[in-house]
Amino acid sequence: MSDFLWGVATGAHQTEGNNLAADWWEFEHAPGTPIAEPSGDAVDAYHRWPGDMDLAAAAGFTDYRFGIEWSRIEPADGEVSLAAIEHYRRMIDGAVGRGLRPFITLHHFTLPGWFGRAGGWLSPDAAARFLRYVEAISPVLAGVAHVGTINEPNIVAMFAATAGSGMSALREGLPLPDPRVTDVLIDVHHAARTQLKDAHPTIAVGWGVSVQDCQAEPGSEDVLNLYTRPRDEVFLQASTGDDWVGVQTYTRIRISLVGGEPVELDDDTTRKTMNGWEFYPEALGGALRRTARIVGDVPIIVTENGIATTDDQERIEFTGRALQSMRAAIDDGVRVDGYLHWSLLDNYEWGSYAATFGLVAVDRATFERTPHPSLNWLGRQNPTVTHPDAPVHSSTTTTVLKET
Ligand code: BGC
């Protein structure tokens, strides 16, 4: 198998269903919650993961990103569920058995409810409690290729700064992250990395940061880093010493200077994806180039990139152009070690099922999976594999990574 990661990404709470002990579950059901729709059964991936992995492997992917849900491992403070640990052991073995390298996320936005009620990341023993969870699941990680400690720590710190608003607080522009939570997450990441590497020296440890293509409007160049430094750069800088850093890119953010402050430009005239972000596939290349300037020689993996759309041809157009921009960055010397598409499945988009990111559609009533053409199309874009029978698309995107 090639060293280049070619995969699809999912998240635990967004796919498993019935994460009853998670803080997000409580948030979804709290009186007056801003959440439009609770996660409920999600797409029942807790039970249907074998079929999901079959789809990924059959399409030609070699890497499968999925999460371990802390609130299932430790539903009450100090009470570890051995059955839940066994569940994730079966998933990891199941991936390996299908020729998929497991790429594990330890924390993807959701925390155990008890941890949240105790103060979450700002509780005095937050780090110790997270490390206790990492220790509990450590035995099943033997043989895992990649572990990401905290998904999008910058977004986690933004959630903390806008407590109780969920994703809705991020729709009007990315707020400043809570600086205390930023510091805690960086410390926790480093401590978890040490703990994981001590137990499993061969696991490649890192974390995936939300990195959009931030572009300065003319005249605002000098303030661009006022915007980016707290929102992603400090997290990327904290990747020094990691085995990889994940870049998670969906769009471009245009920054203009208003009253001495950097603000996001609201441009109604641009093409939008179904969740309102600018349709700008080339953001991936821009984000990779900016990240490379910050992280130096830490290898980059695209740990998320994708589009919410009801039109699969639009998904293929977006992804093909994104891959071309990645290819151009690689040709210019940016070290990229892999690409994981968000997402294999339609899933719970933090408050609603409306935005469909899946290469595979999911019927919400029956959980039936229906692959879109983009699933096999993307599986066959693997730059390190030649598919003599690869279908020829009229789009220019099919050979995007094969022109070596
Ligand atoms: C998150 C995913 C989310 C995706 C699309 C990332 O912020 O890691 O959980 O579904 O973006 O919004």
Question: For position 295, what pLDDT does the model report?
Answer: 98
Name the residue at shortest CA distance from atom 5 of ligand 1: 349
Bond prior to 343 in cis (omega within 30° of 0): yes
Assigned token pair, 210 = 């939300």
| Torsion angle of the four alpha carbons 276, 231, 352, 63, in this order, in degrees rounded to the nearest 10 | 100
Assigned token pair, 230 = 């707290």
Quick one: DSSP state of residue 392?
Answer: P
Which residues on adjacent β-strands are paired with residue 28?
Answer: none
From 134, 330, 128, 101, select the one nearest 204 (Cα to Cα).
Answer: 101
**How far is residue 341 from each of residues 61, 101, 113, 247, measured CA to CA in Å?**
10, 15, 29, 11
Which atom of ligand 1 lies nearest, measured to the CA of 248? 6
Question: For position 166, what pLDDT does the model report?
Answer: 74
Which atom of ligand 1 lies nearest, measured to the CA of 343? 10
Which atom of ligand 1 lies nearest, measured to the CA of 210? 7
Query: Regarding the domain delimited by 5-210+300-308+339-401, which CATH topology (the fold level of the hierarchy) does it fall under?
Result: TIM Barrel (3.20.20)
CA dist 110 and 91 (Å) reads 19
Element (H, E) at 191: helix 179-199
306 CA to centre of ligand 1 in angstroms: 9
224 CA to centre of ligand 1 in angstroms: 24
219 CA to centre of ligand 1 in angstroms: 31
DSSP string, 48-105: HHHHHHHHHHHHT--EEEEE--HHHH-SBTTB--HHHHHHHHHHHHHHHHTT-EEEEE
- CB-count exposure of residue 333 (10 Å: 0-12, 13-18, 19+): exposed
CA dist 115 and 91 (Å) reads 25
Q: Indicate whether residue 210 lines ligand 1 (CB < 6 A).
A: yes
Cα 288 from chain centroid (whole Å): 15
Ligand 1, residues 304, 309, 341: which to mutate, most atoms within 8 A of Cβ? Answer: 304
Contact 152, 210 (CB under 8 A): yes
Phi, psi of 96 (to 5 degrees): -60, -40
Per-residue pLDDT for the chain (404 aa), expressed as one digit of tens each?
789 999 999 999 999 999 999 999 999 999 999 999 999 999 999 999 999 999 999 999 999 999 999 999 999 999 999 999 999 999 999 999 999 999 999 999 999 999 999 999 999 999 999 999 999 999 999 989 999 999 999 999 999 999 878 777 787 789 999 999 999 999 999 999 999 999 999 999 999 999 999 999 999 998 999 999 999 999 999 999 999 999 999 999 999 999 888 999 999 999 999 999 999 999 999 999 999 999 999 999 999 999 999 999 999 999 999 999 999 999 999 999 999 999 999 999 999 999 999 999 999 999 999 999 999 999 999 888 765 554 433 333 334 454 43
From 281, 329, 338, 282, select the one nearest 9 (Cα to Cα).
Answer: 338
Quick one: DSSP state of residue 230?
Answer: I
CA dist 128 and 318 (Å) reads 42
CA dist 187 and 190 (Å) reads 5
